[in-house]
Amino acid sequence: MSDTQPISYVRDTMLGQQEPPATQRGVVKWLRENLFSNWLNSILTLAALVAIYLILTSVGPWLLNSIWDAESLRECRDILDGTPGACFAVITDRWHQLLFGFYPPEHYWRPVLALVLLLIALAPILFAELPRKMLYFSAVFPFIGYHLLWGGSVWFPISVFLGFVAGYIAFRALAKVSALVSVIGAVAATLVWWFFIAGPFDAAMYSVAPIGLEFVRSESFGGFLISLVIGVTGISLSLPLGILLALGRQSDMLFVKTVCVVFIEFIRGVPLITLLFTASLLLNYFLPPGTNFDLILRVIIMVTLFAAAYMAEVIRGGLAALPKGQYEAADALGLDYWKAQRLIIMPQALKISIPGIVNTFISLFKDTTLVVFIGLLDPLGLSNAIRADTAWTGIYWELFIFIGALFFIFCFSMSRYSMYLERKLKTDHR
């Protein structure tokens, strides 16, 4: 420091708050940082603008000139008279089929009510803030949902439900003996109820009190109804099954381990469509003649098994990512295997696996469209059926856009939810 400069300094006027320079604030700053930060970025921005312009000018008029009200494709073309334009009249005309298939129109309220109840049942599972008592409703929803959709004797879902009750009673009664005995007892009680008591109970109760909604055959199901029934059931069953398979694969018990490995590798090695054909054709050969085994149910089983095998591998990845110390700490505190899994291991492994799990869910949901190949009328199947009508032959885009948009809504919500969940469960503060 030079001696000529005085060291002491006192500020006499205080400066007021000032705006940052024009290039460093607001829109200009954002543009500079995000779109034109360097020459490569600028070129890409311009290219993107050109692409967006081209897409808008070609698709825009087609969408803007959409016809929503017409009886047939021909009528649409007459109205448009040569100008490009979409003919969404097909959706106005046939939306009910795309959504419900050939479900009897006077009963449309049943699937709609089932969907609303489904959302209510899902809410407490998806959002932990909601009161835990709502989970009781979630537990009985499958039976309510079944009855709403298929109808028939109300005693049938009740008797199936009572099978679980019987299992629970057996579990509680035997819990004092030992954990293993109580689980075996619970499974045995449930199976005994289902196979020997449920049928007669249903018949007896129905003859006394014949209540129930009108029966709707599985063949009438179609459209998004079928996608949702298969997708939602498959998703909710494949997660627990996948967890069990992943644990089984890590088990010390050779038999359990072998069964799980063989199952997972077999299912993963076979295309889903093969499994679906097996469900629709081959099972008829193996099942005793005359058994009427619902096609939708068979498809649900196959789709569930398929997704569960993938799920198991995704979860195994999560398990492998956990440090050994977590297992040791759980052991050292005296937690038994199932408690350690439930309280320590699974919450962490599942959290790690959320992206993979949701991936599997989404692909399962989209794979439901494959059932078109075994003759079930999912939305794609129905689009073929609609085109078979002379009024709508030759219409493709409009149907696919509608179907695509609906699938997108479901898949995108799943993806968003998983991101929300990941953020919420983030406790490691890295």
Partner 1 sequence: MSENAAAERNIDTSKMQVSDELAIQINGMNKWYGSFHVLRDINMSVYAGERIVICGPSGSGKSTLIRCINRLEEHQAGQIIVDGTELTGDLKNIDKVRSEVGMVFQHFNLFPHLTILENCTLAPIWVRKIPKREAEETAMHFLEKVKIPEQANKYPGQLSGGQQQRVAIARSLCMKPRIMLFDEPTSALDPEMIKEVLDTMISLAEEGMTMLCVTHEMGFAQAVANRVIFMDQGQIVEQNEPKEFFNNPQSDRTKLFLSQILGH
Query: Is the Cβ of residue 153 or residue 348 nearer to partner 1 in the bound state?
Result: 348
CA-based radius of gyration for the chain: 29
Q: Least separation, in Å, of the C-beta of 243 and partner 1? A: 16
Does residue 410 contact residue 403 with C-beta atoms inside 8 Å? no
Query: Is the Cβ of residue 117 or residue 354 nearer to partner 1 in the bound state?
Result: 354
Q: Quick one: which H or E segment has residue 405? A: helix 397-425
Query: Does residue 341 interact with partner 1 by CB under 8 A?
Result: no
| Residue 394 φ then ψ, to 5° | 90, 5
Query: Does residue 332 interact with partner 1 by CB under 8 A?
Result: yes
Can you tell me which residue has the tokens 């909601």? 130
Query: Does residue 182 interact with partner 1 by CB under 8 A?
Result: no
Query: Does residue 107 interact with partner 1 by CB under 8 A?
Result: no
- Report CA-CA distances (Å) from 133 to 115, 139, 165, 238, 299: 20, 11, 18, 24, 33
Does residue 248 contact residue 308 with C-beta atoms inside 8 Å? no
Quick one: DSSP state of residue 214?
P
| Residue 330 φ then ψ, to 5° | -65, -45
List the one residue from 45, 326, 363, 415 that touches partner 1 (CB under 8 A).
Answer: 326
Can you tell me which residue has the tokens 């959706």? 91
List the one residue from 291, 323, 394, 396 that touches partner 1 (CB under 8 A).
Answer: 323
Query: Is the Cβ of residue 187 or residue 329 nearer to partner 1 in the bound state?
Result: 329
Query: Which residues 6+ apart lie within 8 Å of 414 measured at CB?
Result: 358, 361, 362, 365
List the one residue from 25, 32, 339, 424 that touches partner 1 (CB under 8 A).
Answer: 339
Query: Does residue 344 interact with partner 1 by CB under 8 A?
Result: yes
Query: Does residue 269 interact with partner 1 by CB under 8 A?
Result: no
Q: Least separation, in Å, of the C-beta of 122 and partner 1? A: 23
Query: Does residue 430 interact with partner 1 by CB under 8 A?
Result: yes
Site for partner 1 in 346-385 (CB under 8 A): 347-348, 351
Does residue 241 contact residue 303 with C-beta atoms inside 8 Å? no
- CA dist., res. 362 & res. 369, Å (int): 12
List the one residue from 333, 397, 408, 412 that touches partner 1 (CB under 8 A).
Answer: 333
- CA dist., res. 202 & res. 215, Å (int): 15
Kindly indicate which of the ranges 11-19, 115-123, 249-257, 338-346 contains the residues binding partner 1, using the contact rule CB under 8 A: 338-346
Query: Does residue 325 interact with partner 1 by CB under 8 A?
Result: yes
What number of chain residues touch partner 1 (CB under 8 A)?
A: 22
List the one residue from 82, 269, 334, 394 that touches partner 1 (CB under 8 A).
Answer: 334
3-state SS class at 415: helix
Query: Does residue 329 interact with partner 1 by CB under 8 A?
Result: yes
Does residue 283 contact residue 305 with C-beta atoms inside 8 Å? no
Tokens representing 340?
Answer: 């350690």
Q: Least separation, in Å, of the C-beta of 260 and partner 1? A: 22
Query: Does residue 423 interact with partner 1 by CB under 8 A?
Result: no
Q: Least separation, in Å, of the C-beta of 247 and partner 1? A: 17
Does residue 289 contact residue 338 with C-beta atoms inside 8 Å? no
Can you tell me which residue has the tokens 């020997």? 196
Q: Least separation, in Å, of the C-beta of 337 and partner 1? A: 9
Query: Is the Cβ of residue 11 or residue 324 nearer to partner 1 in the bound state?
Result: 324
Does residue 62 contact residue 83 with C-beta atoms inside 8 Å? no
Query: Is the Cβ of residue 78 or residue 328 nearer to partner 1 in the bound state?
Result: 328
- Report CA-CA distances (Å) from 125 to 121, 236, 351: 7, 11, 15
Kindly indicate which of the ranges 48-56, 74-82, 289-297, 345-353 contains the residues binding partner 1, using the contact rule CB under 8 A: 345-353
Query: Does residue 429 interact with partner 1 by CB under 8 A?
Result: yes
Q: Least separation, in Å, of the C-beta of 311 and partner 1? A: 20
Q: Least separation, in Å, of the C-beta of 346 and partner 1? A: 10
Q: Which residues bind partner 1 (CB under 8 A)?
A: 323, 325-326, 328-329, 331-336, 339, 343-344, 347-348, 351, 425, 427-430
